[in-house]
Amino acid sequence: DVTVVGTGATTYSSKSGYPVKADVAAEQVTADDFDGIIIPGGYAPDLMRRSPAMVKLVKDAILGGKVVGAICHAAWVLCSAGVLEGKTATCFHSIKDDLVNAGARYVDQEVVVDGNLITAREAKDLPAFCRALIYLLEKAD
């Protein structure tokens, strides 16, 4: 099952204008409710990182050993959650300095797996990102 968690239980528009309705607000769930969390890229992470409940959810998931995937600008949420210290990660090139300043070792690869954290650079890396997510989620079962 997939649950869409938002900063509120509302409908959001993607960068391309596609609507997606959140099933639940971040305040209503805990990391233990999920096998893993995937943070989308695009414009959403800049809004997501402003929500203390969303940041806590991601932080608790990482610290609790849950699989967490972050693609493109999603790494901003990881920066705000303070979970990148000592991790190897990648992201969209324009926010590389943010990752480094948050304590991550940045590498320019399509996908990076460091423990339970999976990061990818951009949409063209989705095939490798999805393969890594599926592998770690199946391994976690």
- Tell me the CATH number at 120: 3.40.50.880
- In tens, the pLDDT along 58-105 reads 999 999 999 999 999 999 999 999 999 999 999 999 999 999 999 999
Using left for φ > 0, alpha for ψ between -120 and 50, and beta otherwise, residue 102 falls in: alpha
Domain-located, residue 124: yes
Report the alpha-carbon angle 136-97-94, nearest 5: 80
**Contact at 8 Å (CB) between 88 and 114?**
yes
More confidently predicted of 13 and 86: 86
Active site residues: 73
Residue 97 covered by a domain: yes
Count: domains in the chain: 1
- Tell me if 6 is assigned to some domain: no
On whether the pTM is more than 0.85, the answer is yes
